[in-house]
Amino acid sequence: MNEKGTTKSGNVRPAKTSGWRQSPAVRWLLMGLFVLLFYFSLSPHVIPETYDMTEGSVSEKDIKAPFQIKDEKATRQAEEEAAGRIEDIYSNVSLRNEQLVEQIMYRIEQLNADDQVTTENKIEIYRSEIPKKYGDHIDLFVKANLGKGTYSDSLLEEMSYVAKEQQYTIPEETFYKMPQLASDQLIEMRNVAKEIVRKLTIDPLRDAETARMQVAELVNGSSISHRTAREIVQELSRFSIMPNRFLDKEATDEARVQAKQNTPPVVIKEGDVIVKQGETITPELYKLLSDANLLQDKQHYWPQAGLLILSLMFVLVLYAYLHQSGSISGLKPKYSNAQLLMLWLIFLINIITIQIIALTQTDSAHYAGYLAPAALGAMLITLLLDMHLAVISSFIFAVMGSMILNTGQGHIFDFKYGFFFIVISLAAVFSIHRASQRSAILKAGIMVSLFGSLAVMVTLMMSEQMDRMPFIYSITFAFAGGLLTAVLVIGLMPFFEITFGILSALKLVELSNPNHPLLRKLLTETPGTYHHSVMVGNLSEAAAEAIGADGLLCRVGSFYHDIGKTKRPNYFIENQSNIENPHDSIDPKLSKSIIVAHARDGVDMLKGYNIPKPIRDIAEQHHGTTSLKFFYHKSLKQAQEAGVDPDFTEDDFRYPGPKAQSKEAAVVGIADCVEAAVRSLRNPTVDQVEAMINKIIKSRLDDNQYNECDLTLKELDRIAQSLKESIIGIFHSRIEYPEDVKTKE
């Protein structure tokens, strides 16, 4: 055998398969089951249910919104109502009415000072020019501000129209009185009129008439004493007063548009009933169902394709790890299809528990999702399979949990649950991976509770969702979820151990208890074999760990590997204390039958006590098909002495096997033989121990005892070195070192 495990002829011996457990077809079928599990677990949360509906048909059941849906019709109605609540916006426009007074007074003063113009002409000029100045003043203001940005064009247009519409009509007799005014009177009248106009237009004014009604009172209280002057000032002041607050259509429209934009959309919340049972499908309802993609004629190819790809990605991650680690590849894969099926069941159970918790979530109690025992799967995988596989699976659980427990609207994933799941899953993995007692599961559950509560607190603090009661409930549910995880793991562990014959570290530690009935039987009935088994356990555990095999399995398997000797304890040399060896007086063939029977008897006894198969395999395979040479040569000698030809061959004196199928069985077999050989030496030296170990390993190697397990030559060297170191440590006082030998010589 070389390092790849070849036979003497150089051919690679194919790995034995055990039916469906190693079948590649079954393995691919299980990968397909993983895809289906992921797809159908997540499809209700990604792909909405569709209904066969037409306009005018009657719904046979309540149709609920699978996610938050915007109600377009109700939203438009709400927007119109919001816009309708916006009142017309009025803006102030300063028309500088004092300038109009100044212009009129200046024209009167100029014209009255011209002696070349007759009174009749002056009256005619006043009658035509003064009313026109009102409109000219407005037009000039519009022209000066048009396009400047101070006032909108629509506002200037509205101002021009309203102001001109409210123009005051000066009485006819006023024009006849104007030529009578002297220059000094006009100066006084100008100041009084400007002050009155300024005072009455300083406040917002939509209707000029309300201000004009106050002119007479202000004029009477002025310094003007001449009656005619007061009358003219009164009329000109009324004429010069204009409205200064106008409807701003552009600002009003903009405000109404803004109100529509600020109106929150009317939505149908996830889980709300869109159509009640027995309700007729109106065109509005049909459009709503169509917009929500709830009709069967609406295809959902993209969500389905995306979910399928996501499921394949999950499986690809699992397969890539299992393949790269050699767990499902190579001549002797680490995991059989039975263990892959167990992994699938763990995923199924974990997803079901999360789905159940998701059913308890409501809008007001969304924090119920923190009760989900998401670390259940990671903890079971760590205990039953592999820590690194549990870490990989933790990320898959986190992604799936963030989708299943998602309460956010318009999002596929909910970050806070994804973060929560990955924290508690990793906390579970690192808390339980060295567990050796059932109580360690409860301790790991407490760690999950603590880290889960911390993760929830951190996410709530960062999102500033610090409402007192939801905050307390969230942390409480997270803490309770860790304890629930521990309870479920403790309850499920025996199911997986018994159903799949899995030997977890916890189970192995329980089986190594000296109070186990079989070990008690071994101790009381065969104390020599018991001591031998304990020594083999110490040797094999160290050797197995040296090559990366399961050291704990080797130790416990060693405790039970010779349990069959309890049927005929006196026929085995380690139990022959102060008694005659019975083999001296019986036929060698009978002796051979008694010796080789202990392996088969041990398997039967182990089955009777429901000891897991890996330990039974060690008991059955630790001798392989090795030869009992002592009895063979004894029988051969007897035949020669009797002068007859032997009717047997060496193969008739071999153990029935099978050969070692695992590294652990091979290691226990080597340790068993080495321990017995070293015990037979009276004063062994280090060189003798080393030579004996190498001789035993080489003898079994030459006898093809390792052809059916994947031990390499390099690993056999490590086993030899480990056994040498262990034996020197155990039998330190009996083994002579080379210096001691030289001294004696």
- Per the rule left: phi > 0, alpha: psi between -120 and 50, beta: everything else, 10 is left
> For residue 428, what pLDDT band results from cuts at 50, 70 and 90?
very high
526 & 493 share domain: no
- pLDDT greater at residue 566 or residue 411: 566
**What integer is the mean pLDDT of 22-34?**
90
Q: ∠ CA 566-570-574 to the nearest 5 degrees?
A: 85
Q: Is residue 83 part of a domain?
A: no
> For residue 684, what pLDDT band results from cuts at 50, 70 and 90?
confident
Burial class (CB in 10 A: 0-12, 13-18, 19+), 540: buried
Number of Cβ within a 10 Å radius of residue 39: 18
**What integer is the mean pLDDT of 378-396?**
91
Distance of CA 366 to the CA centre of its chain: 16
Q: Where are the beta strands (DSSP E) in 270-331?
A: 273-275
- pLDDT greater at residue 65 or residue 183: 183
- Which domain covers residue 149, as residue numbers? 90-247
The strand pairing partners of 91, in sequence order, are: 246
Four-point Cα dihedral 31, 35, 36, 37, nearest 10: 90
The strand pairing partners of 280, in sequence order, are: 58
State the pLDDT at residue 330.
63
> For residue 626, what pLDDT band results from cuts at 50, 70 and 90?
very high
SS3 702: helix
**Percentage of the chain exceeding pLDDT 90:** 36
Q: ∠ CA 136-141-146 to the nearest 5 degrees?
A: 125
Of 206, 227, 247, the domain-final residue: 247
Lowest-confidence pick of 335-349, 368-382, 391-405, 563-577: 563-577
State the pLDDT at residue 342.
92
Whether 427 shows a pLDDT value over 90: the answer reads yes
Q: Under a CB-based contact definition with an 8 Å cutoff, are residues 247 and 158 in contact?
A: yes
**What integer is the mean pLDDT of 114-141?**
90
> For residue 2, what pLDDT band results from cuts at 50, 70 and 90?
very low
Q: Is residue 35 part of a domain?
A: yes
**What integer is the mean pLDDT of 41-66?**
77
What's the structural domain count of the chain? 3
**Percentage of the chain exceeding pLDDT 70:** 92
**What integer is the mean pLDDT of 588-603?**
90
Q: Is residue 278 part of a domain?
A: no
600 & 735 share domain: yes
Asked if residue 658 has a cis previous peptide bond (ω within 30° of 0), the answer is: yes
Q: Residue written as tokens 């080789």? A: 596
- Say how far apart CA 495 and CA 498 lie, in whole Å: 5
- Per the rule left: phi > 0, alpha: psi between -120 and 50, beta: everything else, 17 is beta
450 & 547 share domain: no
- Say how far apart CA 369 and CA 470 lie, in whole Å: 12
440 & 309 share domain: yes
> For residue 38, what pLDDT band results from cuts at 50, 70 and 90?
very high
Whether 196 shows a pLDDT value over 60: the answer reads yes
464 & 590 share domain: no
- Say how far apart CA 527 and CA 116 lie, in whole Å: 155
> For residue 584, what pLDDT band results from cuts at 50, 70 and 90?
confident
Whether 15 shows a pLDDT value over 90: the answer reads no
Q: How far is CA 12 from CA 6, 15, 109, 331, in A?
A: 4, 9, 129, 10
Four-point Cα dihedral 44, 48, 51, 56, nearest 10: 140
State the pLDDT at residue 738.
47
> For residue 17, what pLDDT band results from cuts at 50, 70 and 90?
very low
Q: Under a CB-based contact definition with an 8 Å cutoff, are residues 625 and 656 in contact?
A: yes
| Residue type present at position 473 | Y
What CATH number has the domain bearing residue 29?
1.10.1760.20
- Say how far apart CA 507 and CA 553 lie, in whole Å: 10
> For residue 410, what pLDDT band results from cuts at 50, 70 and 90?
low
Whether 459 shows a pLDDT value over 90: the answer reads no
Question: Residues 283-318: pLDDT tens digits?
Answer: 877 777 777 767 766 556 778 888 899 999 999 999
**What integer is the mean pLDDT of 506-530?**
89
Q: Is residue 716 part of a domain?
A: yes
HSE-CB at 377 with a 13 A cutoff on CA atoms is 29
Q: Is residue 701 part of a domain?
A: yes
Q: How far is CA 524 from CA 76, 533, 676, 679, in A?
A: 89, 14, 20, 21
448 & 530 share domain: no
Q: Under a CB-based contact definition with an 8 Å cutoff, are residues 379 and 428 in contact?
A: yes
> For residue 67, what pLDDT band results from cuts at 50, 70 and 90?
low
Buried b (16+ CB within 10 A) or exposed e, 321-337: bbeebebbeeebbebbb
The contacts found for 363-366 with CB under 8 angstroms, 24 or more apart, are 363/269, 363/271, 363/407, 365/473, 366/407
Q: How far is CA 404 from CA 300, 343, 401, 716, in A?
A: 19, 20, 5, 50
Give Cβ neighbours of residue 342 (< 8 Å, ≥ 6 apart).
384, 385, 496, 499, 500, 502
Q: How far is CA 730 from CA 273, 289, 721, in A?
A: 76, 80, 14
Reference 708, options 633, 653, 657, 744; nearest CA is: 657
- Say how far apart CA 489 and CA 377 lie, in whole Å: 9
38 & 95 share domain: no
**What integer is the mean pLDDT of 586-594?**
88
Q: Residue written as tokens 């529509």? A: 260
489 & 576 share domain: no
- Say how far apart CA 261 and CA 82 lie, in whole Å: 10
**What integer is the mean pLDDT of 138-150?**
87
What CATH number has the domain bearing residue 683?
1.10.3210
**What integer is the mean pLDDT of 631-649?**
84
639 & 587 share domain: yes
Q: How far is CA 588 from CA 227, 345, 631, 648, in A?
A: 161, 52, 5, 12
- pLDDT greater at residue 709 or residue 64: 709
State the pLDDT at residue 743.
39
Of 208, 232, 247, the domain-final residue: 247
> For residue 741, what pLDDT band results from cuts at 50, 70 and 90?
very low
Express the helix, strand and coil content of the chain in percent, nearest 5 each.
Answer: 65, 5, 30
State the pLDDT at residue 739.
46
Of 232, 247, 262, the domain-final residue: 247
- Say how far apart CA 543 and CA 562 lie, in whole Å: 19
State the angle between helix axes of 415-432 and 375-384 in degrees (0 to 180), rounded to the nearest 10.
Answer: 30
Q: Supply the pTM of this predicted model.
A: 0.62
DSSP assignment, residue 178?
Answer: G
462 & 373 share domain: yes
Question: Residues 488-499: pLDDT tens digits?
Answer: 998 998 888 888
Four-point Cα dihedral 50, 52, 53, 58, nearest 10: -110
Q: Is residue 252 part of a domain?
A: no
Q: Is residue 620 part of a domain?
A: yes
**Parallel/antiparallel/unpaired status of strands 273-275 and 63-64:** antiparallel
Question: Residues 147-177: pLDDT tens digits?
Answer: 888 888 888 899 999 999 999 999 999 889 8
Whether 509 shows a pLDDT value over 70: the answer reads yes
Residues in the chain: 745
> For residue 744, what pLDDT band results from cuts at 50, 70 and 90?
very low
Q: Is residue 264 part of a domain?
A: no
629 & 692 share domain: yes
Lowest-confidence pick of 175-179, 543-547, 618-622, 728-732: 728-732
> For residue 464, what pLDDT band results from cuts at 50, 70 and 90?
low
DSSP state string for 130-181: HHHHHHHHHHHHHHHHTTSSSS-HHHHHHHHHHHHHTPPPPPHHHHHHGGG-
138 & 172 share domain: yes
